[in-house]
Amino acid sequence: MKIAVLSRNPRLYSTRRLVEAGQQRGHEVVVIDTLRAYMNIASHKPQIHYRGKPLEGFDAVIPRIGASVTFYGCAVLRQFEMQGVFPLNESVAIARSRDKLRALQLLSRRGVGLPVTGFAHSPDDIPDLIQMVNGAPLVIKVLEGTQGIGVVLCETEKAAESVIEAFMGLKQDIMVQEYIKEAGGADIRCFVVGDKVIASMKRQAKPGEFRSNLHRGGTASLIKITPEERMTAIRAAKVMGLNVAGVDILRSNHGPLVMEVNSSPGLAGIEETTGKDVAGLIIEYLEKNGGPHLTRTKGKG
Ligand code: ADP
């Protein structure tokens, strides 16, 4: 196969590993800087140009689209889909997962367990918004935050009111979520490929911190997940329409709760922790399921 990896930086661990795994399995792999691709959308034959030349002959495309380039990245991916190139994850599914409110609404509609979550643009009644998620302690999240930045734990309702007011004053969209105390500062990353969880790890926050992000000093370790957690992760990826996803789960005393479904999950932490060849399994998925004109939506919808 000839595989394109859409990535801004060929030196990133995940990008490097995907290139390496593809080449090891006998494929031609080309890294394309997402923001340097340009397109002709008026033509009957949708084209993508890169560094002065048309990009042609690809069988599959692996999108590694960062949160800050979602809009343009999805447009480039859509253009590949219109050409019939098989995407590891479809543009429509990536756009769905990047809109945190839409993602939670879709998951809740299909009965996937979630922390009780409220959101509002500018409520006249902040105390009522707080009561909707069962009062303090609660977690407030800036919608476009990543790596745990913009995630605040408020122990009291008074603190929550002030923080909500502050974010609203800054015109930041936020969501308000029940705090899952019994998770003990840990979450579980389930790496889904196709209809399987192929690797999972537990991330534990450093002492005195509730956010388990590795960027916030959290540590990762191996974990055996329960059949219910496995099923929840697979279901969450399926609801989003993602073939490959990193599903983050909190262990609550009423079962697994999905916090987020990530459409470009990083490979470094999960490969280092589990010792599994996750990149190889992703390429294997493309070998088994890819092919010309097999994309479900062709960028529609
Ligand atoms: P980001 O997308 O920025 O990583 P998350 O929503 O994943 O933000 O939150 C960061 C971390 O904070 C999570 O990995 C988890 O450890 C903790 N956390 C988030 N939401 C809750 C919650 N409702 N209850 C308990 N812990 C939470």
* Pocket perturbation via mutation, ligand 1, pick of 117, 144, 151 by most ligand atoms within 8 A of CB: 151
Residue 30 scores a pLDDT above 80 = yes
The per-residue pLDDT of the chain, averaged, comes to 93
Phi, psi angle pair for 14, to nearest 5°? -60, -45
Residue 79 class from Cβ within 10 Å (0-12 exposed, 13-18 middle, 19+ buried)?
buried
pLDDT at residue 61, rounded to an integer: 97
What percentage of the chain carries pLDDT values higher than 90?
A: 82
**Token pair 């969501």 is at which residue?**
175
d(CA 185, CA 187) in angstroms, rounded, equals 7
pLDDT of residue 194: 96
Torsion of CA 21, 47, 262, 189, to 10 degrees: -10
Q: Is the shortest distance between the CB of 204 and ligand 1 below 6 Å? A: no
Asked whether 265 lines ligand 1 (CB < 6 A), one says no
Its pTM stands at 0.95
Q: Ligand 1 in contact with 134 (CB < 6 A)?
A: no
Residue 125: per-residue pLDDT = 85
115 lines ligand 1 (CB under 6 A): yes
Euclidean distance between CA atoms 90 and 264, whole angstroms: 11
| 301: confidence class by pLDDT, cuts 50, 70, 90 | low
3 state DSSP class of 300: coil
Q: What is the pLDDT of residue 284?
A: 98
Instruction: List CB contacts of 228: < 8 A, sequence separation 6 or more.
Output: 255, 256
Pocket test for ligand 1, best of 211, 262, 263 (most atoms within 8 A of CB): 211
Q: Whose CA is nearest to atom 10 of ligand 1?
A: 148
Q: With contact defined as beta carbons under 8 Å apart, do 270 and 228 qualify? A: no
Q: How far is the CA of 141 from the centre of ligand 1 (A)?
A: 8
Instruction: Check pLDDT > 90 for residue 161.
Output: yes
CB 93 within 8 A of CB 242: yes
pLDDT band for position 221 (50/70/90)?
A: very high
Residue nearest to ligand 1 atom 6, measured at CA: 259
CA distance 286 to 290: 5
CA-141 nearest atom, ligand 1 = 6
d(CA 287, CA 281): 10
C-alpha–C-alpha distance, residues 41 and 79, integer Å? 8
Q: In the predicted model, is pLDDT for residue 299 greater than 60?
A: no
Ligand 1 pocket: which of 114, 142, 249, 250 to mutate (most atoms within 8 A of CB)? 250
pLDDT of residue 120: 83
Spell out the alpha helix ranges (H) of the chain.
Answer: 13-24, 70-82, 91-98, 100-109, 126-132, 157-169, 227-240, 268-274, 278-289
pLDDT of residue 220 exceeding 70, the answer is: yes
Q: What is the pLDDT of residue 146?
A: 76
User: Sorting pLDDT into bands at 50, 70 and 90, what band is 298?
Assistant: low
Closest CA to 141 of 217, 248, 66, 242: 248
